[in-house]
Amino acid sequence: MKGQRISGLDAAELQRQAQDAQEQLFRLRFQMGMGQTEGLKKYRSLRKNRARMLTVLREKELQGETITPLQPVKAPPLLPKKTSVKKGFARFFKRKKK
């Protein structure tokens, strides 16, 4: 995305796109760590585009444009909350008395 195109967007749209870019960066970083992709070039360009978006957002903020921060998206918990590990093992190894 070019700088002129970025500067033409409003603040809310820039924030949404910056957040989307952050999520894509996370996914790419995770995939690269797992060895699933070799997308280093895409990762670098995405990181630079996100930096451009944040720079334009900051410029708009300094010019006096009101910018409302977006609410961060909370990820659901990976595993349901259970009892402590010790209690879990105690139940696992507990033998039934006859």
Q: Of 19, 87, 30, whose CA–CA distance to 57 is shortest?
A: 19
Cβ contact 28:70 at 8 Å: no
pTM exceeds 0.85 for this model:
no
pLDDT in tens, 8-56: 888 888 899 999 999 999 988 888 888 877 778 888 999 999 999 999 9
Is 49 a member of any domain?
yes
CATH code where residue 42 lies: 1.10.287
pLDDT in tens, 45-66: 999 999 999 999 998 888 887 7
Is 98 a member of any domain?
no
Report the domain count for the chain: 1
Is 95 a member of any domain?
no
